[in-house]
Structure 1
Amino acid sequence: MASVSEHSGLCHAGEGAAVWRTSIDDLPEEILIKIFSHLSFTELVDVVRKVCRRWRKLSRDLRLWADKEYHVGVSRHCNSENCKSGRTEREAMLIFRSARNLRKVHKWCAVSPHVIDVLCNKCQRLADLRLHAAQKLGYSTVKNSVEQCSGIHVLTAPDELLKTEKFSEAVSRLQHLRVLCLQERYVGTTCVLRPYVLRPLGDGCPRLVEIDFGRMSVGTDDLKYFLNAKNNTLKCLRIKWSVGGTRNGGLPQLKVLDLPHGYGVEDNTVIAISHGCPGLRQLSVTHATKLSPAAFSEIDCLEHLEILDVTGCSRLGGGLFPCLVGLPRLHTLRMGTMYFGTTYFTELQPGVSSILKLSGLRCLTFDYSDVTGVPFDKFPENLISLRAHIKKGRIFSAREKLRCVYSYEIGECSSC
């Protein structure tokens, strides 16, 4: 029989003597939570919450779940103790019911709408939700997700999310949404493309700073409306720039602009970007076969530009480098896959000597290109921080000159 004093930590060892006994249950909640913070996702769910009612309550503390994430469908991405995965829908729903304060969920496969409903009903503090591109979304599922998990900050979803005005209006009610990534859906090997409905999104989501349209098409009028509505908040934009006649400008807060597969991008478009996005730090215009060095004649307006990627812009030659001299912060330049039709990009002149004036350059990439005319022998004394990289390409220069670039990364050169 235990005495009352034993329960309080005091145990009588004999007349006139007392011994104090303590256990982990005597620790204050703050200390217990600190201890629990060193435990893994699995230990919190499978061990701690099953010990007693007090521990079960503490295991749900928000501070313990800020860095935890759950993956549905695969386990190979879970290489941390803060991560847990499940392959079946049943496993996922059990976790959602147990870990009510789960903040990040990544679904690597399409699941039934019921799984998404359970997630949003049980884990209402969800901040980062990433759905598979093949996930089918009904309006009731989207509406329920928005209502139950109104604090979502990052959302990755199939393009169906903005397929109609009703869907777009539901998403626009996410007041805390900061990052939205939309993915194209494939049926077999065919990509199903559909235009977005953007106007409601332009009026809502006041904290949206980054959006990725992937390779989806965007209506000209809707895009203009959206960009005008977000001109003071949007910082990162990724879009397939194939909308005829559209010009991107007037986005003073934009920091990152990515125009992948920009076959339709013309010189005037880049000039408009230079004047309309003065705060831009990273610009990527890839496979824009219409671009000439004239497109970058006014790029010095982008005084904060640090990274420029013009991979696949085959009409650009050595004339690009003089245009870049006026960019004091440029440290990364990528010019991969440079060729004209079937003729490789073997001559960078004129103006290639201007590359030596880019004193802040740290990374120069000519991947998958055959180039010549680059003054590699002058790099060590002019570009002391540079690491040049050529992957599966060739440098047409004298072998003795190539030895001068021993400190640079020249990877997988087929010949010299």
Structure 2
Amino acid sequence: MKTLLLSHDVTFRKQAERRFTTKISNNTSVSSRLSNFTKSPTWFHDLPLEVLLKIFSNFSEKELRKNIIPVCQKWRYAALKPQLWKCFEVVGGKIPLNRICYEINRFPYLQIVVLKSVHDPKQIIRQVCRCLSNLKELTIKDCEEIPEKTLINVLYSCRNLEKLNLSGTPFRGKKVFEDISLLPNLKSLNLAKNPYITIQKLTTCVLNCTGLEEFRLSKWVSLDEILKFDDQDVSPILLNLSSSLRSLTLDCSNLTTNSFNKIFTCNCLERLSLHRAKHLDGEMFAKLHRYFPALTVLKVKHASQISDANIVQLFTEGEEIMENLQTLDLSGCWQITA
């Protein structure tokens, strides 16, 4: 009996030792795994390239250049991937031309190019022609005069242009205006402050741009003092664009009531800017809500016939329409006192 008890005790002791040994070994393996994890954590800069590209796609080009590229080599490599760069902007002449051309060649997926106050944009424009056939928006603003041939090459090379802004950049030649009208997807056109534009060229261009949604011709200056942009000139343009225009900016120095009546036929307008509208009648202004139900931006400058009573009438009778108005600019309307 004693022998049996001893053997049972030994057996129990061995089983207990076996369980204890297993427990220790399991704890050791867990602790070793934890130590390995703490030794090599996965930080943000260790993310795979495809994950970084997905994250960086939410940043603008300016943010990439300023905040992402300087962080580390891996982020720099990811942030400079061509597919992340859709917009390229050059202001002034501080950046060397060869550097600008290199950047344009480096980012073939660019959809927007903006050149502002560039001393000699011809070389940059040629590089755009070579590398960016799928360009959507091109702005050449306040630059030196562009040769007709250079501008024509852009229009032939970038056939998918939807927005063309040549404000403040002079150019000559009739063929340019003809080629602008041949752009099949053009929706926005800005020809402001071009001293060489003529009524004939403008009419040729705009009358053939049937899908134009935004048209800007403010602060227009002509070298020919006899040439005036009057009611007879503006009427066919506005009639042609009345069903498509969403935004209109116009210098109204020589326009009378007849032209304003034509403007009021553009019932789809969301943004209306009338500069030097000295012949705009106050009663006509007070009825704007009847013609533009989707208006969100209204700028009427130097309209000497608009009074406080006209404004009150506009916002009283058109209260529901005017609630959607986000911007109102009546600068230069000297009869307004409030």
Q: In which range does the TM-score fall when normalised by the shorter chain?
A: 0.5 to 0.7
Task: Please say which of residues 31-40 and 318-327 is displaced more in the overlay.
Answer: 31-40
Displacement of 1:180 after TM fit? Answer: 1.8
Task: State which of 98, 105, 112 in structure 2 corresponds to 1:114.
Answer: 98
- State the SS of the aligned residue for 1:117: helix
For 1:352 and 1:142, how far apart are their aligned partners in 2?
Answer: 46
1:47 aligns with 2:47: no
Alignment CA distance shift 1:17-1:29 (3 Å): same
Question: TM-score of the superposition, structure 1-length normalised?
Answer: 0.55
**Any idea what the Cα deviations from partners look like across 1:3-52, whole Å, max 9, x if unmatched?**
xxxxxxxxx9968996264643886554444565688524532334x25x
Q: RMSD of the alignment, in Å?
A: 4.2
User: Identity, % of aligned pairs?
Assistant: 16
Matches within 5 A, 1:115-194: 115-138=99-122, 141-157=124-140, 162-184=146-168, 193-194=170-171
- State the SS of the aligned residue for 2:125: helix
Task: State which of 186, 189, 195 in structure 1 corresponds to 2:172.
Answer: 195
Structure-2 residue corresponding to 1:207: 185
1:358 aligns with 2:318: yes
Alignment CA distance shift 1:206-1:134 (3 Å): same
AA matched with 2:190 = D
- State the SS of the aligned residue for 1:284: strand
Alignment CA distance shift 1:206-1:173 (3 Å): farther
Matches within 5 A, 1:215-364: 215-216=193-194, 217-231=196-210, 233-239=211-217, 264-269=228-233, 271-276=235-240, 277-288=242-253, 290-297=254-261, 301-321=265-285, 324=288, 326-327=290-291, 329=293, 331=295, 333-339=298-304, 345=305, 355=314, 356-359=316-319, 360-362=321-323
Question: TM-score of the superposition, structure 2-length normalised?
Answer: 0.65
For 1:369 and 1:195, how far apart are their aligned partners in 2?
Answer: 35
Conserved in 2, the CA contact under 8 Å of 1:280 and 1:302?
yes
User: Which protein is richer in helix relative to its size?
Assistant: 2
Structure-1 residue corresponding to 2:12: none
AA matched with 2:230 = E
Displacement of 1:327 after TM fit? Answer: 1.5
Alignment CA distance shift 1:168-1:352 (3 Å): same
> How many residue pairs were aligned?
288
Conserved in 1, the CA contact under 8 Å of 2:302 and 2:333?
yes
Conserved in 2, the CA contact under 8 Å of 1:280 and 1:304?
yes
AA matched with 1:118 = Y
Alignment CA distance shift 1:294-1:330 (3 Å): farther
Larger Rg: 2
AA matched with 1:338 = A
Alignment CA distance shift 1:13-1:173 (3 Å): farther
Displacement of 1:322 after TM fit? Answer: 6.8
For 1:59 and 1:43, how far apart are their aligned partners in 2?
Answer: 10
Alignment CA distance shift 1:37-1:14 (3 Å): farther
**Any idea what the Cα deviations from partners look like across 1:209-241, whole Å, max 9, x if unmatched?**
21211210324444344334422x322121256
AA matched with 2:322 = L
- State the SS of the aligned residue for 1:329: coil
- State the SS of the aligned residue for 2:180: helix
Structure-1 residue corresponding to 2:18: none
Displacement of 1:119 after TM fit? Answer: 1.7
For 1:60 and 1:325, how far apart are their aligned partners in 2?
Answer: 49
AA matched with 2:42 = I
For 2:178 and 2:284, how far apart are their aligned partners in 1?
Answer: 40
Conserved in 1, the CA contact under 8 Å of 2:82 and 2:107?
no
Conserved in 2, the CA contact under 8 Å of 1:212 and 1:238?
yes
For 1:348 and 1:32, how far apart are their aligned partners in 2?
Answer: 56
Alignment CA distance shift 1:358-1:120 (3 Å): same
For 1:34 and 1:268, how far apart are their aligned partners in 2?
Answer: 54
Conserved in 2, the CA contact under 8 Å of 1:125 and 1:149?
yes
AA matched with 2:92 = C
AA matched with 1:230 = C
For 1:333 and 1:15, how far apart are their aligned partners in 2?
Answer: 72
- State the SS of the aligned residue for 1:124: coil
Conserved in 1, the CA contact under 8 Å of 2:230 and 2:255?
yes
AA matched with 1:109 = G
For 1:365 and 1:141, how far apart are their aligned partners in 2?
Answer: 36
For 1:214 and 1:126, how far apart are their aligned partners in 2?
Answer: 25
For 1:292 and 1:323, how far apart are their aligned partners in 2?
Answer: 17
